[in-house]
A and B are shown apart, each in its own frame.
Chain A
Amino acid sequence: MELFANLAHGFVVAFSPINLLMCLIGALVGTLVGVLPGIGTIATVAMLLPITFGLPPVGALIMLAGIYYGAQYGGSTTSILVNIPGEATSVVTAIDGHQMAKQGRAGPALAIAAIGSFFAGCVATVLIAVLGAPLTKLALAFGPAEYFSLMVLGLIFAVVLAKGSVLKAIAMIVLGLLMSMVGSDIETGASRMAFNIPELADGLGFATVAMGVFGFAEIIRNLDAGAEMNRDLVQQKITGLMPTRKDLIDSTPPILRGTVLGSILGILPGGGAVIASFAAYTLEKKLAKDPKRFGRGAIEGVAAPESANNAAAQTSFIPLLTLGIPPNAVMALMVGAMTIHGIVPGPQVMQKQPDLVWGMIASMWIGNLMLIIINLPLVGIWVRLLRVPYRLMFPSIVIFCAIGIYSVNNAPVDVILAGVFGLVGYWLIKHDFEPAPLLLGMVLGPLMEENLRRALLISRGDWSVFLTRPLSAVLLAIAAFLLVLTVLPVLRAKRDEVFTESEN
């Protein structure tokens, strides 16, 4: 019953006018970002971090969360109507969704995507509320050794789920860990790898790197891809949003399966919305009686991935809120937002900041409701936005990013650093390195180093402590098992298949 009391408290917090407004802004911005290709969730959240300075912490986090799950809705709209996924999470939706649109069934496709997302969002909200408290209790049993092993597991997950070469993904994580060590050492205060440059003494700003690698690098990459893509494929009027009875019956099981799969993949560290939508699509194709229908407008191919990505986007808050460990890059930025407001993420947040946690959880449900309204009746407006040409969009994004970074510390050097990291990001893309593991490594770096040092200090320098403590040993065993699985040739081929399928 404590659960209901908590949720009720959350709704009281979330229904305050300022928080409702923040939720609406988050949902609107999220949809906008989701619709527009060429600007991703990570860059947007990074860009808006400084903006949240002046807001109360609850409102700020409600807004940022809204952007994340709002983008999952918006991404599906453009995938279905124009075959341009606005977000990586909606890439698979485009396969069948756009086929449906071509057959004149754009309305039902959009409706099913929204209904699936809404259902998944509701389930995930409840799940966060239910799992929050017990996981927090578990987290209190964690010592430094367990924390370290859990983070290793998270990073290995990120490797397994990253696209392309395993070796390159691990290298990116280690590079991220190294980059996190620039600046003052937490324990001794010694200046590390800062070359007496005062701007580096505090370390590389996480928002700066994120904005460079995801914001600027994306822009440069889009520019040389010959930006103007083929955008006017299905522009005819959308008639009849209502799906038929058969559509609803056909899509119910995929929505349920997608929700379950998405929720699980969202909780696991290293996972997140992108992989959830891929996995859900693959699962539906495997389970279908007639797999040939996929790619030709099967409604299951829209229902499952859209539910999965939305469920995952929300359940990925669970490790953040209970353990204080960000499972993906967006959550890592949320850590940044929390620290800006003086909140240290971790198990104590649930007890010390009930307003924040439960208010955010409740706001997710409200946000989902808003998103349905924003997306379904107003779909025409969002599609019209796609007519804004990239040649006008990209300088605007550059300027907005630059002002955003400047306002974090009022430091022009940060802007230049972000530019440099933009070039680094461009180079990484050209050499087929994934930037997401790099960012995750950078965020987990300080936490990992601190816990590693503490664990070894407690065990008096005995490395076997990671294997003799049962919880830690289990976590490491899972990590090792996963790594072995990924390297095995049979499974590797399977993994490549999943990713190439999503690219076509």
Chain B
Amino acid sequence: MADTMGHSATATRNTSVALGFCLLAIAPQIFEFIWSIGTIFGWGAGRGPATVVISHATALLAGAPSALLAGDTKKSSDVLLALMYSYPLFAVAILTIFMTIKSAQDYIGGIVLMALALFALWASSDLQGMRGFSFGAGTAPRMFGGLLVALSAGIALTGLMTDGPALAHYSWRGPLFVMAAILFFALAIRPLGLVVSAFVSFLIAALGSHETRWLEAVIVGACLTLGCALLFPYVLGLPMPMFPRFLVQ
């Protein structure tokens, strides 16, 4: 009884890992979709969201399978992405369901690294290869990309063959608030200037630890902001906007 229960637990675990890989397999497509939403508001250049969805969907469902069967025809970049990146990862995801993962840390680490390598291979697929005996722009990226695929496969295999640590525990609080502080700083430095953005980012970052005492944080944040406002533009002579634009004008 205990045995079957243990087995079903690993089965559900494997399924969630496999689902995660499936998501990873279409991550670039999703990312381009999110990116393309900006074009509606006129930010950035690129394809609109509708075109992105349709072309990736056709590439994944129709274009790539037909290209697989038809052999070497001229393939569009979306079809290539599906062929070189998404399909191998889908295959890995399906295989994952039937595996016993001995060390999730190694296995998942290896597969994610492999995804990165496949993505790099795709990204450099439009570059020129060898010209005679001289390297083209794409030769070295493809060489190292291929090497990384092999190495990461090795790491993933180690995760299947040998016992090792399970997945480490991730916490959300620290990463979330530190990233929020960085993002706020990046977006605010131009329009709001150093003083406001540094002080507010300090307080956002301080949220990352539950030990923060607010009075103390505000005082230290103010002192630090003052210090930076003197150090960077005046002592070091690095030009930087200091105060919000609407106040200066």
**B-chain residues with CB within 8 Å of residue A427 when the two chains form the complex:** 112
Q: Is B145 an interface residue (CB 8 A)?
A: yes
Contact check, B211 vs A430: say whether CB atoms are below 8 A apart: no
Contact check, A228 vs B211: say whether CB atoms are below 8 A apart: yes
Binary A-proximity of B153-189 (CB < 8 A = 1, otherwise 0): 0110010000001011111011100110111011101
Interface size on B, residues (CB 8 A): 76
Nearest chain B residue, comparing its CB with the CB of A418: B182
Q: Which stretch from A238-246, A328-336, A407-415 is at the chain B interface?
A: A407-415
Contact check, A395 vs B144: say whether CB atoms are below 8 A apart: no
Contact check, B205 vs A398: say whether CB atoms are below 8 A apart: yes
Contact check, A188 vs B128: say whether CB atoms are below 8 A apart: yes
Contact check, A220 vs B151: say whether CB atoms are below 8 A apart: no
Binary B-proximity of A205-233 (CB < 8 A = 1, otherwise 0): 00000000000100110011001100000
Contact check, A457 vs B134: say whether CB atoms are below 8 A apart: yes
Q: Is B136 an interface residue (CB 8 A)?
A: yes
Contact check, A423 vs B217: say whether CB atoms are below 8 A apart: no
Q: Which of B77-119 contact A (CB under 8 A)?
A: 105-106, 108-109, 112-113, 116-117
Contact check, B158 vs A399: say whether CB atoms are below 8 A apart: no
Q: Which of A243-257 contact B (CB under 8 A)?
A: none
**A-chain residues with CB within 8 Å of residue B128 when the two chains form the complex:** 188, 190
Q: Is B201 an interface residue (CB 8 A)?
A: yes
Please tell me which one of the listed residues A192, A196, A396, A418 contacts residue B202 in the complex, with CB atoms under 8 A apart: A396
Q: Which of A186-203 contact B (CB under 8 A)?
A: 187-188, 190, 192-193, 195-196
Contact check, A399 vs B205: say whether CB atoms are below 8 A apart: yes
Minimum Cβ distance to chain A for residue B222 (Å): 12
Binary B-proximity of A415-428 (CB < 8 A = 1, otherwise 0): 11011001100110
Per the bound structure, the CA–CA distance linking A3 and B244 in Å amounts to 56
Minimum Cβ distance to chain B for residue A464 (Å): 13
Nearest chain B residue, comparing its CB with the CB of A51: B236
Minimum Cβ distance to chain B for residue A363 (Å): 21
**A-chain residues with CB within 8 Å of residue B228 when the two chains form the complex:** 399-400, 403
Nearest chain A residue, comparing its CB with the CB of B207: A395
Binary A-proximity of B42-61 (CB < 8 A = 1, otherwise 0): 00010000000000000000
Contact check, B135 vs A426: say whether CB atoms are below 8 A apart: no
Main secondary structure of the interface of A (DSSP, over half): helix
Minimum Cβ distance to chain A for residue B65 (Å): 26
Binary B-proximity of A159-189 (CB < 8 A = 1, otherwise 0): 0000001011011001101100100010110
Q: Which stretch from A99-107, A120-128, A285-293, A386-394 is at the chain B interface?
A: A386-394
Q: Is A492 an interface residue (CB 8 A)?
A: no
Contact check, A396 vs B133: say whether CB atoms are below 8 A apart: no
Q: Is A340 an interface residue (CB 8 A)?
A: no
**A-chain residues with CB within 8 Å of residue B225 when the two chains form the complex:** 399
Q: Which of B206-235 contact A (CB under 8 A)?
A: 206, 208-209, 211-213, 216-217, 220-221, 224-225, 228, 232
Q: Is B138 an interface residue (CB 8 A)?
A: yes
**B-chain residues with CB within 8 Å of residue A402 when the two chains form the complex:** 181-182, 185-186, 198, 201
Chain A interface size, under 10 / 10 to 19 / 20 to 34 / 35 or more:
35 or more
Per the bound structure, the CA–CA distance linking A460 and B133 in Å amounts to 6
Q: Is A15 an interface residue (CB 8 A)?
A: no
Binary A-proximity of B234-249 (CB < 8 A = 1, otherwise 0): 0011111000000000
Q: Is B19 an interface residue (CB 8 A)?
A: no
**A-chain residues with CB within 8 Å of residue B175 when the two chains form the complex:** 220, 423, 426
Contact check, B224 vs A54: say whether CB atoms are below 8 A apart: no
Per the bound structure, the CA–CA distance linking A387 and B189 in Å amounts to 32
**B-chain residues with CB within 8 Å of residue A398 when the two chains form the complex:** 178, 181-182, 201-202, 205
Please tell me which one of the listed residues A178, A389, A453 contacts residue B117 in the complex, with CB atoms under 8 A apart: A178
Given A165-B158, A228-B211, A402-B186, answer yes or no on A449-B238 (Cβ-Cβ < 8 Å).
Answer: no
Contact check, B171 vs A224: say whether CB atoms are below 8 A apart: yes
Please tell me which one of the listed residues A167, A392, A399, A422 contacts residue B198 in the complex, with CB atoms under 8 A apart: A399
Binary B-proximity of A428-451 (CB < 8 A = 1, otherwise 0): 001111000000000000000100
Contact check, A453 vs B134: say whether CB atoms are below 8 A apart: yes
Per the bound structure, the CA–CA distance linking A404 and B143 in Å amounts to 35
Q: Is B147 an interface residue (CB 8 A)?
A: yes
Q: Is B148 an interface residue (CB 8 A)?
A: yes
A interface residues, Cβ below 8 angstroms from B? 50-51, 53-54, 165, 167-168, 170-171, 174-175, 177-178, 181, 185, 187-188, 190, 192-193, 195-196, 216, 219-220, 223-224, 227-228, 389-392, 394-396, 398-400, 402-403, 406-407, 410, 412-413, 415-416, 418-419, 422-423, 426-427, 430-433, 449, 452-453, 456-457, 460-462
Could you jot down 29 A-B contacts, CB within 8 Å? A54-B236, A165-B158, A171-B148, A174-B144, A174-B147, A178-B117, A178-B141, A188-B128, A190-B128, A216-B178, A216-B182, A219-B178, A220-B175, A220-B178, A224-B169, A395-B201, A395-B202, A395-B206, A395-B217, A398-B201, A399-B201, A400-B224, A403-B194, A406-B186, A412-B190, A419-B179, A423-B179, A430-B170, A453-B140
The 10 closest A-B pairs by CB, nearest first: A461-B133, A223-B174, A431-B109, A419-B182, A395-B205, A224-B171, A190-B137, A415-B186, A185-B137, A193-B123
Q: Given contacts A431-B106, A431-B108, could you give 8 more A-B pairs where the C-beta distance is less than 8 Å?
A: A51-B236, A167-B158, A190-B127, A223-B171, A394-B208, A395-B201, A398-B201, A433-B109
